[in-house]
Every structure is written in C-alpha cells, then in structure tokens.
Structure 1
Amino acid sequence: MGDLRKDYVLDKFVVVPEANQAATAGDKPEGSKCPYCPGNESMTEPALLALVVQDGMLQRLSDSEDSIIEDWSVRVFQSKNPVVATGAATSYSDKPLYSEPAYGYHQIVVASPDHKQSLSQMSVEQWGNVLVVIQDRVRWLYTQKSVTYVSIYVNSGVGAGAQVAHPHLHIVTFSTIPPVIELEAEGSHRFMNENGNCPACNIIGVESSGPRQILATDSFLAFCPWAPTYPYEFWIYPKRHITSFSKITQKEINDLALMLRATLGGMSKALKDAPFNLVFHLSPEKKNSRQIHWHIEVYPQLNTWSGLERGFGVFVNNVRPEKSAEILGSASRKELAGLVGIV
C-alpha cells in the first residue's frame, strides 16, 4: 500500500500512502448497498473463511472461482482498502528519514449476516463463533512470512472510525511490534524481573474485589483501569496467566463470549450506543522473550482530545473510573442476568 514511516526520534510509526493514493482503513459502501450483507458477497474479495452452521455443527469453508458460500454465520476476506498489503514495494530508507514497506495482511471479519445487529446485541453463541474464527485467523497468520504481530480491533460507529455500519472486526498484521505493545511488554518484563510475578496477575488480584470491578465470570474479569485514558474505558483479562489468545480453550471462548456480550450490551445501554473502539492486546507468538498477559481493552469515544492530550500525552478524564465501574457494572450485570435467564 505505502510506507511505514518512523518518527525522527520517537518509536512512533505512521502508514503513509503511495503518491496520488488516499490512506483508508477498510472497505466502504458502494452507493446504498452494504458490501458486508448477504447477497452482496461479490462486492468484497473472496471469502478466505466462511463459517457455516449446519445441523449444529460448524463448517469452515471458502469461496472458489465457481461458487460463493451462502448462508454463512461469519465471513472473512481481504480488505479492498488495506492499511498494509503483501504486494508492498520492498524499499527501505535510512535514518533520520526511516521508512519500510507497509507489509502485511488486512482481513475483515464480518461478525454477523444481520446488518442491524450490533456487536452489543449479538447472541452469546454468535460471539463464540466470531472468537473461534479470530482464533483460526491468528493461528494461520502467525505461520506466514514477515508476520511479527497480529493486531485485532473494532471500530464501532462513525465517531470511532467505522467505514461500514455492518458489525465487523479488523485483523491487521505488521512486520514489527507496534509501539504500544512494545512498551507494555517492556514494562511487564521489568516488573517480573523486579517482583517475580506477572503485573497483570497482580492487577487482577487487586481489582477482583475493588471498586473498579465491572463483572466477573468463571474465567474472565472486566474492570475499569486505575488510570483510564478514556471515560468509561474498561479492560477484560483472563484470570489465568496466559500470553496467547490462540491457546485459550473452547470453554474459555464460551466464557469470553458471555463476558463480551454482557459488557458491550451494558455499555451500549448505559452510554446510549456511544461509538467505541475495542482492541486485543496479544503477545507476539513468534520468538520473543517479552510477553504480556493477553487481554481486551474497550475505549468509548465520548470526548474530543485537547492540546494537552495531543501535544503532551497527559490525559484528562472527566469521569472517575470508580464511577464508571459503578455505572457499567450495574448495566452489565443486568445484561448478564437476562442472558443466563435470571429475572
């Protein structure tokens, strides 16, 4: 697609498009038609994976030159407007004007065939299907050449950068570790050397019985962090120490599906369908000694940053995380009760 340019001094990267080409992040609607809806499959790249539910069994299929898979539950394909591309030119430049090819895969995961069904409304079963597909993609992508990191994220709502209203996720790979993950891994590595245990496991112990807890299931804990960047920001951590999402069990997938549905549903009701971003923070799965306890972070987009945030990296949050947890926790527990049949 273009270049991955590094800041003169900081470990900050920016994707810059080729000359006479605009940078985009995902597919856009063509006229009044949604490219992600059933019946419009020809508007996207062929399905690399189409999850089909038949007789209670999941089948992993893919499009061919002769046929397009129909009646799918989850569909995955290459983005037509990728942030990164495998056909990027292999050109590098030296410091201080360092750049490298924006090489990688950009895949779209359509989370539901129902255009009007948001991620906060999907069934727990459907969320489970989505997580199974994401796990499949992560495993496959890490077998590919020049894939150092697999990023997974959601843009929900125009205010969060969504190009298409249909519920979907992005999977984008990089040939280098993203700066935020690198910093988190370095901090975790340093903490473990100094204290002898995982910082995330320590955090889980603190937040499990604290005022910032939102919801707990058998395998996961949702809480508002002590120093949140965004109002009503919350994180979801697996309770057991694990660095790889691709290695979680089916039982944990089912539990995570319940947690995501309950917390996103609660957030949607409490914040009146506010736009949000959701990101997976995963450890690099290729040879790397610095690992992180994998988790999910959710950022509601309610405010516009000021010069203080943009220019100095000092964030002003107008809602205390304890208050955020109180509001989100109440709404999420009501969602969970409805999902599991408790009146």
Structure 2
Amino acid sequence: MIPLIRTSWLPEVEKPEESPVMTTSWSPELAKLKKSGNDAFGRDLLGCWRVKKKVSVQRSKDFFPKFQIVSEEFCVRCRSPGMRKDTVTNRWVIFSPARARRPSDFKSKSPANPNPKPSECPFCIGHEHECAPEIFRIPPDPTSDWKIRVIENLYPALSRDHKLLPLLQNPNPNSQDFALTGFGFHDVVIETPLHSVTLSDLSPPEVADVLLAYKERIQQLGRHELIKYVQVFKNHGASAGASMSHSHSQIMALPIVPPTVSARLDSMKEYFDRTGKCSLCEIRSEELLIDESTHFISIVPFAASFPFEIWVIPRDHSSHFHELSNEKAVDLGWLLKLMLLKLSLQLNDPPFNLMIHTSPLQVNASQLSYSHWFLQIVPQLTGVGGFEIGSGCYINPVFPEDAAKVLREVNVPM
C-alpha cells in the first residue's frame, strides 16, 4: 500500500523516459524513518524534521526518492495541533503552530507609544501641577525629588465621588438587567521621574519600590468597606492600550469581584478538592521553566493563551499580593526585570500587558488554602479575533515548551 503524501513536499524530478515501477519498497533512509514511527517526510505526532539541503533523487524502481538527510531542523509548521486546559483559569487553548513562524522568529512590529517631549509630558518631574491630585509619593518628603508618584487618574473609568447605588435599567421587577453606579477608584503609578526610562531599565531595588507602592495602595484601598477587588495592571506600547510613553502602571479598585476572578477561584478550588493541593504550588515542569529566584519562579504556563506569555509565581503559598515582604519584593524585582529584558531582546521590545492576579480582599479561611496570587505578562504579538471572542477559547501558535526554551536561551547581561 502506497502511503498518502503531499506532493508539494517532493523535490522536482525530471520525468523519466519510462514510467518507474510503483512498488512499496523504501530507500534505506526512508525505511529507517518508517521503522521509527514517522511518515515518509520524517513527520511524527509532534511535527516533522525538514531537510535543510536539497535532496538527491534516485530514479529506480523505488516510488519514493532517496533523501539525503544532512542535518535536522524541526519544522514548527507541521507540528500537529493540540488542545490544553488550564487548571488555574479553567480555559481551553488550541495550539496550532501551522499558523505561525518558528518560535525564534517572532518579532514585534507594533507602533510605539505616542512620545511627547519631556517638556510636554505631564508625568515628568516639574509637571506635577498638570496631573490629577497626588495620593502619595516615594520618598514621602514633599520637599525632595520623588522617585515614584501615585496619583488619581485624570480620566478615571470609575469615580470615587459616586455613591454605590443600584440602578434598575428596567422598571419591571422581574427583569434580569441590573446596574450599579460607577463607584470605584482608578489610580496611576508613575514609576520613574525620567521620561525615557522603562520598568526594565530600573535596578531590581527600584523595581521593588514600584511593587511596594502597589502593595501600599492596595492596603489603603482594602480599608474601604465597599471595595472587593483591586486590579494592578501595566500597558506598555500603543497596541497594548498605553496612551502615554512615560513608564507608568494603573490600579483599579472595584465594588465587585469580576467574573474571571471568580472563575479562577472556582477552578483552583476544584483542583484543591480533587488533589488536596494548590494548583500553582504544584507546578514542577522543567520544560516550562524560564528562570527562578530564591522566592519566585517564572514559567510559560502549560495552557498559555498567548505566545510567550509568562507567569511569575511565588514559591511559598500566598493568597494576596499585599502580603509581599520587602525582601521578597527585591527578589521579585530582579526576576521581573529579567523577564522583561528577555522579552525585549527576543521579541524586539513588544507591546505587553502586565497584570497582578491576586485574591479578592474579602475571602474566607477555606479559600486561603487554594487561592495563590501570580503575576502575568502577555506580549501582544497576535490579535484576538471572532473565534476567541465568541468561544472564549484562544488559539496560540507557539507551544509553551517551545516558548520557554527560546526564552531560557536568551542571554541577558545584568
């Protein structure tokens, strides 16, 4: 029986004067591949090995040409697609390498942030009067130069001035529609007074100061009885949603627990009920590991929704980010800086989103055993289309093990 093959993969062969006899005999190279469980082109269930050098052809009774395999090169496009489910997010992800280039070929081509001159930037030192009111600064002395400022957002998505009241959109008491007033807090963390310095340019202790500023503000917001969840996030690059080039991040405090947060906790609880262990404490795969520090590990998650997505996870079980100690903040600052530099070097300074996934402020004692905070970095390399929006299932063109290997091998001088 003649195996089915794609003729587009065959080398061009001059038509012989007499048609060759079609037999099932194999040349020695192909016989070896067949015995190993691969098909005529070296493809297995994981992918194929392309021949880098032009192959030689034997016009004989063999139906298949002889392949002279000079060197092996893994062909990502022919790797079989697969599906994985994340035990943390409870989300299914489709991995389809045929939709992309080699993992090492990913480079960002997104436009840069709008970049006003320092003389026109409201976040630069000397322009404090152009910003919304300041909440606190580091160092706190108002007479000295600041390193970090936490201010109110001049264009907040939620307002602290509103009272939290329900608004019925439909007078019918049986209606399913329900709304609240736009109460909440929306702050900006200006990470440095220097206009052209990014978060990855800061030293590990300086990155730690930014992390501790997050911690302090979360603790302040947690004292408000109506606040249930605090989201810390950073948008870097216009394609990631940033409107200012001066390095900054944002903090939003909500009177609700967002559905994705509840779904994440439910998924963590399901794993804990089934195994008696925390899903993030159990991550041990060396293939997914990028790097590690004393108190943290960085991985590409097993079911990463996006190519080169990174999670930074505390080694010790911790449910809330604001439990971070000064010592661990410096340790996290070092690893976070390393991850951002690796992404920048490998992917040409891509736009990215950075999020801190912490637990709701009001959790009971039983939830503390399975809720575990982590930091997520998502480079914006592929768009989100109708399938992702409609199904909630993402398509990732890079297998996590491949992305982790590429990032592990990026040499960063620090």
Aligned positions of 1:255-274 closer than 5 A: 255-274=331-350
Q: In 1, Cα distance between the equivalents of 2:290 and 2:311?
A: 9
CA contact (8 A) 2:229 2:254 kept: yes
Q: CA deviation at 1:120?
A: 2.1
The CA deviation string for residues 279-304 of structure 1, in whole angstroms up to 9 with x for no partner, is 00001122445342010011100111
**1:121 and 2:198 matched:** no
TM-score (norm 2): 0.67
1:92 matches 2:167: yes
Task: Please tell me whether the aligned partners of residues 166 and 178 of structure 2 are also in contact (alpha carbons under 8 angstroms).
Answer: no
The reply to whether residue 293 of structure 1 matches residue 380 of structure 2 is: no
How far apart are the structure 1 equivalents of 2:377 and 2:354? 4
Report the alpha carbon displacement of residue 86 of structure 1 after superposing the two structures with TM: 1.4
Cα distance in 2, alignment partners of residues 102 and 196 from structure 1: 39
Report deviation, 1:88.
2.6
Secondary structure of the residue aligned to 1:328 is helix
- What are the equivalent positions in structure 2 for 1:1-343 lying under 5 Å apart? 33-52=120-139, 60-61=140-141, 71-88=145-162, 90-93=165-168, 95-203=175-283, 206-207=284-285, 210-288=286-364, 289-291=366-368, 292-331=371-410, 334-335=411-412, 338-339=413-414
Secondary structure at 1:199 match in 2 = coil
Change (3 A) 1:46 1:86: closer
CA shift, 1:306, in A, is 2.1
TM-score under structure 1 normalisation? 0.80
Please report how far the alpha carbon of residue 30 of structure 1 lies from its aligned counterpart in structure 2 after TM superposition. Answer: 11
Q: In the aligned structure 1, how far is the partner of 2:276 from the partner of 2:144?
A: 52
Once the two structures are TM-superposed, the CA of residue 47 in structure 1 deviates from its matched residue by 1.7
Q: Which residue type is aligned with residue 290 of structure 1?
A: Q
Of structures 1 and 2, the larger Rg is shown by 2
Partner Cα distance (1:30, 1:180) in 2: 38
CA distance in 1, matches of 2:245, 2:154: 16
Contact 2:118 2:124 in 1 (8 A): no
CA shift, 1:83, in A, is 1.2
CA contact (8 A) 2:234 2:354 kept: yes
Equivalent residue number for residue 56 of structure 2? none
Letter matched to residue 122 of structure 2: P
8 Å CA contact 2:158–2:184 kept in 1: the answer is yes
User: Partner amino acid for 1:191?
Assistant: Y
Q: CA RMSD in A?
A: 1.9
Ranges in structure 1 where 5+ consecutive residues have no aligned partner: 1-27, 53-59, 63-68
Tell me the matched-pair count: 291
For 1:253 and 1:245, the matched residues in 2 are separated by 10
Q: Quick check: 1:48–1:77 contact (8 Å CA) kept in 2? A: yes
Do the aligned partners of residues 61 and 285 (structure 1) sit closer, same or farther apart at CA in structure 2, a change above 3 Å counting?
Answer: farther
Three-state SS of the structure 1 residue aligned to 2:396 is coil
Q: Select between 259-268 and 96-105 the one with higher mean Cα deviation.
A: 96-105
Q: Distance in 1 between matches of 2:221 and 2:307?
A: 33
Runs of 4+ with deviation above 4 angstroms: 28-32
* CA distance in structure 1 between the aligned counterparts of 2:328 and 2:117, rounded to whole angstroms: 38
Q: How far, CA to CA, are the matches of 1:322 and 1:287 in structure 2?
A: 34
Question: Would the aligned equivalents of 1:222 and 1:237 in 2 still touch at CA under 8 Å?
Answer: yes
Query: Residue 214 of structure 1 aligns to a residue in which SS?
Result: strand
Tell me which amino acid in the other structure corresponds to 1:266: K
Note the residue ranges of structure 2 that are not aligned, 5 or more in a row: 1-114, 170-174
User: Any conservation in 2 of the 1:192–1:198 contact (CA below 8 Å)?
Assistant: yes
Q: Is the 8 A contact 1:38 1:70 kept in 2?
A: no
Q: 1:85-137 deviations in whole A, cap 9, x for unaligned?
A: 11235342264222112211111000111111112222212101111111111
Amino acid at match of 2:128: E
The answer to whether the 8 Å contact 1:49/1:61 transfers is no
Structure 2 CA distance for partners of 1:318 and 1:32, relative to 1, 3 Å: farther
Note closer, same or farther for the CA distance 1:48–1:187 as it changes in structure 2 (3 Å cut): same
* CA distance in 2: counterparts of 1:41 and 1:29, whole angstroms: 16
Task: For 1:163 and 1:30, locate their aligned partners in 2 and report how far apart those are by CA, in whole Å.
Answer: 14
Question: Following TM superposition, by how much is the alpha carbon of 1:31 offset from its aligned partner in structure 2, in angstroms?
Answer: 11
CA contact under 8 A between 2:118 and 2:195: conserved in structure 1? no
